[in-house]
């Protein structure tokens, strides 16, 4: 769907790029010519991904073990990255989440999620943006949110709060840094099967993670659908898109807006619809 060299000459940092959706985005960026830098806490996952990308695509991949909750660690990583060249793209993808009753959350549980998603994303954005501004260079920040950033999520309250904060950062920086040539955009995905999300959000029925019945298109997202969107948004072809949050969820988040009653209407047969028409036509 793209020119093979869409991202050639670009250097992209993907936080949490060793697993799941971050890994899929990284693979697509590398296929399109970008040099990759991936970070996370588990160095073995990063190393494994680096080896796979080098073997499959001949990609240039640098890994950084970094806990993005630690501002000094983020600063040290950025300084190391920039010492060998400038960065063009930051993807704030790393996240933590689990389902729990909110009344039972300890303060450490709340802080664990806010620390990764809200603080970590802000530390990365600021460390990167400051360098772009000092070097008078353009850049793109792509934040991976979830639809709960826009609509909330019962039983995932810290995640929904943190992602809403990152949505606000996306729109705020679009205006503050736009004049400096730095774009800020976001993707709000619905369900895309990954081991990380499945084990925390559907621990009892991993096989049922897709939840396809809740999705108007009756299927979950394909990783390629998200990674192609992520490639487009950071490319120069999307150069006038700034501050936008693109929802990619098969229509799932609109299901509730249309009312839960419409769910059962999907299963009504023609006889039922005829009887409804009989009752509802004006007399």
Q: Tell me the two tokens of residue 214.
A: 């809740």
**Which of 159, 170, 228, 253 contacts ligand HXC by CB under 6 A?**
159
Residues 2, 130: Cα–Cα separation, whole Å: 31
Nearest in space to 170 (alpha carbons), one of 159, 186, 147 = 186
Question: Is 16 a residue that touches ligand NAP (CB under 6 A)?
Answer: yes
Question: Is 200 a residue that touches ligand HXC (CB under 6 A)?
Answer: yes
> How many other C-beta atoms can be found within 10 angstroms of the C-beta atom of residue 57?
17
What are the two backbone dihedrals, phi and then psi, of residue 88, each rounded to the nearest 5 degrees? -110, -30
Question: Is 146 a residue that touches ligand HXC (CB under 6 A)?
Answer: yes
Question: Is 36 a residue that touches ligand NAP (CB under 6 A)?
Answer: no
Question: Is 109 a residue that touches ligand HXC (CB under 6 A)?
Answer: yes
Question: Is 21 a residue that touches ligand NAP (CB under 6 A)?
Answer: yes
- What is the residue-wise DSSP string for 13-45? EEETTTSHHHHHHHHHHHHTT-EEEEEES-HHH
Residues 86, 148: Cα–Cα separation, whole Å: 33
Question: Is 121 a residue that touches ligand HXC (CB under 6 A)?
Answer: no
For ligand NAP, which is the closer residue by CB, 116 or 128?
116
User: x/- contact string, 119-158, with ligand NAP (CB under 6 A)?
Assistant: -x-----------------------x-x------------
- Choose the contact partner of 235 out of ligand NAP, ligand HXC, none; CB within 5 to 8 A by kind: none
Residues 145, 185: Cα–Cα separation, whole Å: 10
Residues in contact with ligand HXC by the rule CB under 6 A: 95-98, 100, 106, 108-109, 112-113, 146, 148, 159, 191, 196-197, 200-201
């Amino acid at each position: 769907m793209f020119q093979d060299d869409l991202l050639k000459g670009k250097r992209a940092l993907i936080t949490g790029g060793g697993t799941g959706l971050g890994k899929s985005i990284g693979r697509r960026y590398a296929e399109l010519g970008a040099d990759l830098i991936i970070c996370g806490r588990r160095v073995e996952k990063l190393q494994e991904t680096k080896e796979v990308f080098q073997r499959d695509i001949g990609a240039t991949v640098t890994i950084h073990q970094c806990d993005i909750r630690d501002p000094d660690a983020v600063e040290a990583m950025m300084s190391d990255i920039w010492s060998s060249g400038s960065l063009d793209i930051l993807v704030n993808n790393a996240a933590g989440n689990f389902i729990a009753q909110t009344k039972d959350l300890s303060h450490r549980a709340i802080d664990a999620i806010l620390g990764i998603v809200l603080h970590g994303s802000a530390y990365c954005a600021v460390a990167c943006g400051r360098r772009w501004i000092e070097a008078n260079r353009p850049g793109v920040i792509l934040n991976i949110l979830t639809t709960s950033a826009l609509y909330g999520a019962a039983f995932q309250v810290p995640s929904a709060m943190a992602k809403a904060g990152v949505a606000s950062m996306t729109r705020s920086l679009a205006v503050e840094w736009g004049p400096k040539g730095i774009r800020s955009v976001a993707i709000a995905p619905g369900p895309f099967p990954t081991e990380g999300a499945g084990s925390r959000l559907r621990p009892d029925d991993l096989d049922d993670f897709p939840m396809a019945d809740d999705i108007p298109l009756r299927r979950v997202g394909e990783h390629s659908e998200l990674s192609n969107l992520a490639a487009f948004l950071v490319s120069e072809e999307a150069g006038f898109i700034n501050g936008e949050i693109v929802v990619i969820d098969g229509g799932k988040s609109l299901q509730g807006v249309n009312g839960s009653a419409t769910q059962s209407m999907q299963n009504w047969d023609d006889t039922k619809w005829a009887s409804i028409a009989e009752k509802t036509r004006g007399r």
